[in-house]
């Protein structure tokens, strides 16, 4: 049998087959990878198995704040894609400081979330949360705070004048002292970065009502009486009751003497005038102030004062001295209400 192939031919064929196998094997390892950086694409051929290998092969570095959609240890398949977003510088001014950040976030809101920047509902931000982040962007946050403050103010009382027919005309007596009230004012203050920018009154109420001052004003017209006659003066010193005495009524009273200057309820200074009109204190509910009377054993007098112990048919007679008051003491006498 003749040999169909020589040894050299066989070797050549074997070598060719081996080379073809190697080429096919190498071609099977080749991949087409798309790399996208900030939206720009490029397709490369590579024999690297991992993302890290491709980046190293292409001389591409990924900074700490850059974002990449793959892990460096990921094994690549044919026609795979690697996407990288480069971080850009952003300046943030807040809380009294300006800080420079590198960020690959797409919106202001995402940037705040990534950097743990807390923004309260009332704070003022220079950009909208949906605004796109760009290189060199400057964002400021103004902190807005508020407080409620309270203030109290006095409320003046009014003065009421009440006519009193028991007081002589021109006489004024304070029946009730006035007292100031209190008003509470509520204000809302707003601060921006600690600086007061507005103050609005949100409440105004009286929390304590004032008490009016009440003044009694006398309206009684004094009666001009004739000067007591000699017989009347005699009677006032303990003699008989004047025969000419004209009176509207009379009744018995308990009369106590007192001494010491002061001011009466009608604003006069008490007097003891044996030749004229003296001062007595009465219960105004029995004898109205300003009434002219004749007191048995004492004489002519005007009801000008009151006293806490003078209730009912009791009167106090003014004397010029303590000794005179002690001499009188206390007596039951008849009082005459003059016409």
For the chain, domain boundaries: 33-86, 88-142, 157-217, 222-338
The three-state (H, E, C) secondary structure of 121-139, written as one string: CCCEECCCCCCECCCCEEE
265-283 residue pLDDT tens: 888 899 999 889 999 999 9
Sheet holding 31-37, edge to edge: 40-46, 31-37, 81-85, 67-68
CB atoms within 10 A of CB 18: 10
CATH architecture for residues 157-217:
Single Sheet (2.20)
Q: pLDDT band at 244, cuts 50/70/90? A: confident
Say yes or no to pLDDT of 227 above 50.
no
CATH architecture for residues 33-86:
Roll (3.10)
- pLDDT of res. 260: 83
**Mean pLDDT, the chain, integer:** 87
What is the pairing mode between strands 81-85 and 31-37? Answer: parallel
Q: 134 and 103 in contact (C-beta within 8 Å)?
A: no
Per-residue tokens: 35 = 């790399």
Alpha-carbon distance of 7 to 16, in angstroms, equals 14
Q: Is 157-217 the same fold as 33-86?
A: no
Say yes or no to pLDDT of 3 above 80.
no
Q: pTM of the full predicted structure?
A: 0.51
Say yes or no to pLDDT of 314 above 60.
yes
- pLDDT of res. 170: 78
Strand-pair partners of 336: 250, 294
Residues found in the chain: 339
Q: 222-338 belongs to which homologous superfamily? A: RlpA-like domain (2.40.40.10)
Q: Name the 3-class secondary structure at 333.
A: strand
Q: In what helix (H) or strand (E) does residue 88 lie, and over which residues does it extend?
A: strand 88-94
């Amino acid at each position: 049998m003749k040999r169909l192939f020589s040894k050299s031919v066989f070797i050549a064929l074997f070598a060719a087959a081996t080379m073809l196998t190697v080429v096919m094997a190498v071609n099977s390892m080749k991949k087409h990878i798309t790399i996208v950086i900030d939206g720009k694409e490029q397709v490369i051929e590579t024999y690297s198995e991992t993302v890290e290998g491709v980046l190293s092969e292409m001389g591409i570095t990924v900074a700490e704040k850059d974002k990449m959609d793959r892990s460096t240890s990921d094994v690549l398949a044919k026609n795979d894609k690697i996407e990288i977003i480069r971080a850009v510088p952003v300046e943030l001014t807040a809380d009294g400081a300006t800080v420079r950040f590198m960020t690959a976030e797409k919106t202001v809101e995402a940037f705040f979330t990534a950097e743990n920047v807390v923004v309260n509902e009332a704070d003022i931000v220079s950009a909208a949360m949906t605004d796109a982040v760009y290189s060199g962007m400057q964002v400021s946050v103004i902190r807005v705070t508020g407080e409620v403050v309270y203030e109290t103010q006095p409320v003046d009382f009014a003065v009421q004048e009440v006519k009193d027919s028991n007081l002589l005309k021109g006489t004024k007596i304070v029946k009730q002292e006035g007292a100031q009230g209190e008003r509470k004012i509520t204000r809302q203050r707003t601060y921006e970065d600690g600086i007061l920018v507005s103050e609005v009154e949100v409440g105004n109420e009286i929390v304590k009502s004032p008490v009016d001052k009440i003044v009694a004003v006398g309206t009684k017209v004094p009666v001009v009486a004739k000067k007591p006659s000699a017989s009347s003066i005699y009677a006032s010193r303990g003699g008989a009751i004047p025969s000419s005495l004209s009176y509207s009524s009379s009744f018995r009273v308990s009369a106590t003497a007192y001494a010491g200057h002061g001011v009466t309820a009608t604003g006069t200074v008490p007097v003891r005038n044996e030749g004229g009109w003296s001062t007595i204190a009465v219960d105004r509910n029995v004898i109205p102030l300003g009434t002219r009377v004749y007191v048995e054993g004492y004489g002519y007098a005007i009801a000008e004062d009151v006293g806490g112990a003078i209730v009912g048919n009791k009167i106090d007679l003014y004397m010029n001295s303590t000794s005179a008051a002690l001499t009188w003491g206390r007596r039951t006498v008849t009082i005459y209400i003059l016409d």
